[in-house]
C-alpha cells in the first residue's frame, strides 16, 4: 500500500518548478523542456492517484495525491500563460451573444412605437407647464441609501470609482430631491424627467418588468395651496393614459396619513408601521391570508391586530367612502387619520372640477412601499396589471382557494435564476407616485452644519413606466397595422438613374419638412426602387423621367395597404400615377388628406 510520505518523495523535483519557471520563460527551449517535464509529471501523478484509489489507500494518501496533482496543473497553467502558448488554458469559449439579464434591444418598428408613446407623454408634460431636467444615471451611494425601505436591496451598486461609492439610480425622485437640495430648496416649479432607471429585480420581460427600464416623471415642487398640485398631477396622469389608448384604466388613491392612523388605532407599534405598510401593499398581488401570514409570522404582529387592519383595508370606492371613515369615531380621534381624511375631502372636490372623478378608486389597501411618501399616494392600473388569478379591480382581498403556483421558473443551465414565470405575473401598475414633503429636507439637513436650520421643500410627483405601457400598446400597434417609419415620399428614377436629379429633389422635399428617402444606387432598376419604398410602406412614390423633367413634370403615385387574412399587403392598383408640375410638387403633397391626416403613424 502507498504511503503519503513515499508518494510525496517521488515528486521532489516538482517543488522547484515554480521557482524555475520565471527564470526559464526567457528562452523558448527551456520553456519547452520545462513544459514537457511537467506534462510527464502530471501523467505520472495522475497514474499514481488512480493506483491509490484502486488499492483502497487511506484517505490522507489520496488527499495528498490530489493536492500534488492540482499543484502541478496550476504550475502548468501559469507557465503556459507566461510563455504565451497558443494551447494555454482551456479551449477558447465561444462568445455568448445575448443582452444582460433584465435588459433587451428594441428594433426599428418597436422604437417607432416607443417614440410615439414618449412624444405623447412629453407633449402633455409641456402642456401642463412642465420644464425638463436631466440628472446623472448614477449617484453617490449615500444619496440613494435609506430612501426605499425594503426595496433598498434592489439598488445596483457600482464598484468603487476613484474613491466614491456609487450606485445606478433607482428612480428619478431621489435624484430630483438631491438636485433641489443643492439648489437651496427654494425651487417652485413643475419639473419633468424622462430616462432609464435600474433595479436588481427578477424580470418578466413580456410584461415590461425589467432591470433597466424607462420612466417619465413630472413633479410639482414648492409650497402651494392644499391639494391643488395633487389634483393637477392626477389630472395630468389621466390625460396621458387617455391619449395613449391603454384601454380602461383606474387611478387608485389613498393617503399615507389615513393609513398610518389606521395602523395606530389598530395597535401597530410605531417601529413596525413601515414594514406592515409594505405588507399591505402586496394585496394587489397576494390574497389576504398570505399578507396576514407575512404580518404575523414574519413581522411579529399579533393576529388580532392584523384582523383589525384587514377590516379597514378591504374598503374601496369613491367620495362616499369618506363618509364611512368620518363616522368612525375611533379613527377620527387620531390626528394623522383626521388630517388625511380632510385632505381627501378637498381632493375629491378638485377632481370633480377636473372631470376625472370617474377614473378614481379610493382604495384603502394601497400603501406604496417607499419610505419617503408623506401624503396622498396613487397608482394607475389596467386590466393587465393584476396577476391572472386576480381581477384588476377586485372588490376585496380574499383568501386563495388553494396554494398559489410558484411564479419562479426553474434555474437556467448556468445556475442563474431565470425570469419569473410570465403566466403568473401581471404587468403591475403602469404609473404611480405621491406626495413627499420631507425628502428634500432630509438632504439639506444631512448637508447642513451642526446646529444650523435646514430648509425643506414640499413636493408631489408621478412616475410613468414607459416599458410597461409599451408592453400594452405594442400588440395593439401591430394589430392596427401601424408603420415603423415616418417617411412620406420615396423618390424613384425611370431609365438612366438620374442620380443628381433625385438627390436635388430629395433635398428640396426635406427642406420643406417632408420626410423623404431614395435608393442609394447610381442606376437602380425601377422594380428595386419600388420594393425599397414599399418595404417601409411609404405612401407617395415620386417617379422622375428624363422627358418629363424637360417638361417640368414628375409622376406621383399614392400607395395604400390593407389587411387580407390577417396579413398586411399593398393594395394593387392599375393607376399609373398622376403627372404634377415639378415646382408645385410640395404644395400638392401637403394638400393631400394622407399628408394632413398623418399624426399617429397609422397607414392602412
pLDDT in tens, 422-460: 555 566 789 999 999 999 999 999 888 777 888 889 999
Quick check: 403 pLDDT over 50? no
The Cα 288–Cα 396 span in angstroms is: 9
350, three cell numbers: 378638485
Please report the pLDDT score of residue 278 as a whole number. Answer: 84
Please report the pLDDT score of residue 251 as a whole number. Answer: 96
Quick check: 8 pLDDT over 50? no
**209 versus 537: which is more confidently predicted?**
537
**422 versus 321: which is more confidently predicted?**
321
Mean pLDDT (the chain) is 84
Quick check: 67 pLDDT over 60? yes
Please report the pLDDT score of residue 387 as a whole number. Answer: 56
Contact in structure between 174 and 145 (CB atoms under 8 Å): no
Greatest mean pLDDT range, 384-393, 402-411, 513-522: 513-522
**φ, ψ at 493 (rounded to 5°):** -130, 135
Please report the pLDDT score of residue 151 as a whole number. Answer: 78
Q: Average of pLDDT values for 513-538?
A: 94
Q: What is the 3-state secondary structure (H, E, C) of 83-121?
A: HCCCCCCCCCCCCCCCCCCCCCCCCHHHHHHHHHHHHHH
Quick check: 3 pLDDT over 50? no
Q: Average of pLDDT values for 234-247?
A: 95
Q: Average of pLDDT values for 293-312?
A: 92
Quick check: 405 pLDDT over 70? no
Please report the pLDDT score of residue 90 as a whole number. Answer: 58
Residue 191 DSSP SS3: strand
Please state, for a pLDDT cut of 90, what percent of the chain lies above it. Answer: 54
579, three cell numbers: 403627372
Quick check: 136 pLDDT over 90? yes
The Cα 428–Cα 24 span in angstroms is: 64
pLDDT single digits (tens) 20-35: 344 433 444 455 567 7
Q: Average of pLDDT values for 170-177?
A: 94
The Cα 319–Cα 360 span in angstroms is: 9
pLDDT single digits (tens) 543-602: 999 999 999 999 999 998 888 887 888 888 877 889 999 999 999 999 998 888 875 445
Please report the pLDDT score of residue 74 as a whole number. Answer: 85
Please report the pLDDT score of residue 221 as a whole number. Answer: 96
Please report the pLDDT score of residue 36 as a whole number. Answer: 75
Please report the pLDDT score of residue 15 as a whole number. Answer: 42
Kind and range of the H or E element at 488?
none
Quick check: 4 pLDDT over 60? no
**φ, ψ at 256 (rounded to 5°):** -60, -35
Please report the pLDDT score of residue 164 as a whole number. Answer: 87
154, three cell numbers: 434592489
Contact in structure between 257 and 339 (CB atoms under 8 Å): yes
Residue 4 DSSP SS3: helix
Please state, for a pLDDT cut of 70, what percent of the chain lies above it. Answer: 84
Contact in structure between 279 and 294 (CB atoms under 8 Å): yes
Contact in structure between 536 and 484 (CB atoms under 8 Å): yes
Report the relative pairing of strands 131-132 and 189-198 from DSSP bridges: parallel
Q: Average of pLDDT values for 271-293?
A: 87
- Please tell me the least confidently modeled range out of 75-79, 380-384, 412-416, 520-524: 412-416
Amino acid at each position: 500500500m502507498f504511503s503519503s510520505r513515499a508518494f510525496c518523495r517521488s515528486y521532489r523535483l516538482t517543488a522547484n518548478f515554480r521557482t524555475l519557471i520565471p527564470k526559464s520563460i526567457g528562452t523558448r527551449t527551456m520553456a519547452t523542456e520545462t513544459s514537457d517535464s511537467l506534462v510527464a509529471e502530471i501523467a505520472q501523478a495522475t497514474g499514481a492517484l488512480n493506483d491509490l484509489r484502486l488499492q483502497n489507500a487511506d484517505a490522507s494518501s489520496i488527499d495528498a495525491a490530489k493536492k500534488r496533482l492540482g499543484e502541478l496543473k496550476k504550475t502548468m497553467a501559469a507557465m503556459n500563460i507566461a510563455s504565451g502558448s497558443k494551447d494555454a488554458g482551456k479551449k477558447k469559449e465561444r462568445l455568448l451573444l445575448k443582452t444582460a439579464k433584465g435588459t433587451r434591444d428594441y428594433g426599428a418598428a418597436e422604437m417607432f412605437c416607443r417614440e410615439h408613446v414618449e412624444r405623447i407623454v412629453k407633449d402633455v408634460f409641456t402642456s401642463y407647464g412642465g420644464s425638463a431636467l436631466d440628472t446623472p444615471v448614477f449617484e453617490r451611494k449615500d444619496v440613494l441609501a435609506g430612501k426605499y425601505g425594503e426595496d433598498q436591496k434592489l439598488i445596483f451598486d457600482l464598484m468603487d470609482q476613484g474613491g466614491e461609492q456609487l450606485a445606478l439610480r433607482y428612480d428619478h425622485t431621489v435624484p430630483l430631491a438631491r438636485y433641489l437640495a443643492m439648489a437651496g430648496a427654494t425651487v417652485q416649479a413643475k419639473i419633468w424627467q424622462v430616462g432609464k432607471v435600474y433595479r436588481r429585480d427578477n424580470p418578466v420581460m413580456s410584461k415590461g418588468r425589467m432591470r433597466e427600464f424607462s420612466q417619465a416623471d413630472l413633479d410639482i415642487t414648492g409650497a402651494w395651496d392644499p391639494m391643488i398640485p395633487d389634483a393637477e398631477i392626477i389630472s395630468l396622469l389621466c390625460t396621458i393614459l387617455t391619449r395613449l389608448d391603454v384601454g380602461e384604466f383606474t387611478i387608485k388613491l389613498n393617503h399615507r396619513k389615513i393609513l398610518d392612523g389606521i395602523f395606530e388605532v389598530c395597535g401597530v407599534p410605531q417601529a413596525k408601521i413601515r414594514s406592515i405598510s409594505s405588507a399591505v401593499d402586496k394585496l394587489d398581488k397576494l390574497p389576504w391570508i398570505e399578507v396576514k401570514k407575512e404580518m404575523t409570522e414574519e413581522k411579529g404582529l399579533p393576529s388580532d391586530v392584523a384582523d383589525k387592519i384587514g377590516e379597514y383595508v378591504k374598503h374601496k370606492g369613491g367620495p362616499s367612502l369618506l363618509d364611512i371613515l368620518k363616522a368612525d369615531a375611533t379613527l377620527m380621534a387620531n390626528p394623522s387619520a383626521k388630517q388625511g381624511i380632510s385632505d381627501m375631502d378637498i381632493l375629491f372636490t378638485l377632481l370633480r372640477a377636473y372631470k376625472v372623478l370617474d377614473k378614481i378608486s379610493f382604495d384603502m389597501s394601497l400603501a406604496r412601499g417607499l419610505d419617503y411618501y408623506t401624503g396622498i399616494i396613487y397608482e394607475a392600473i389596467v386590466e393587465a396589471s393584476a396577476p391572472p388569478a386576480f381581477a384588476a379591480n377586485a372588490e376585496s382581498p380574499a383568501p386563495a382557494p388553494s396554494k398559489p403556483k410558484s411564479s419562479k421558473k426553474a434555474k437556467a443551465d448556468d445556475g442563474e435564476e431565470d425570469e419569473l414565470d410570465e403566466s403568473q405575473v401581471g404587468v403591475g401598475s403602469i404609473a404611480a407616485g405621491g406626495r413627499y414633503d420631507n425628502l428634500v429636507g432630509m438632504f439639506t439637513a444631512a448637508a447642513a452644519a451642526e446646529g444650523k436650520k435646514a430648509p425643506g421643500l414640499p413636493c408631489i410627483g408621478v412616475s410613468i413606466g414607459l416599458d410597461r405601457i409599451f408592453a400594452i400598446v405594442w400588440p395593439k400597434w401591430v394589430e392596427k397595422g401601424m408603420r415603423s417609419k415616418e417617411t412620406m415620399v420615396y423618390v424613384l428614377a425611370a431609365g438612366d438613374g438620374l442620380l443628381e436629379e433625385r438627390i436635388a429633389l430629395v433635398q428640396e422635399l426635406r427642406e420643406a419638412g417632408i420626410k423623404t428617402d431614395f435608393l442609394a444606387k447610381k442606376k437602380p432598376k425601377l422594380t428595386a426602387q419600388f420594393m425599397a419604398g414599399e418595404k417601409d410602406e411609404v405612401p407617395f412614390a415620386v417617379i422622375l423621367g428624363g422627358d418629363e423633367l424637360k417638361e417640368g413634370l414628375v409622376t406621383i403615385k399614392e400607395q395604400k395597404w390593407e389587411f387580407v387574412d390577417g396579413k398586411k399587403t399593398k393594395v394593387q392598383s392599375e393607376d399609373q400615377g398622376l403627372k404634377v408640375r415639378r415646382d408645385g410638387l410640395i404644395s400638392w403633397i401637403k394638400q393631400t388628406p394622407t399628408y394632413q391626416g398623418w399624426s399617429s403613424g397609422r397607414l392602412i
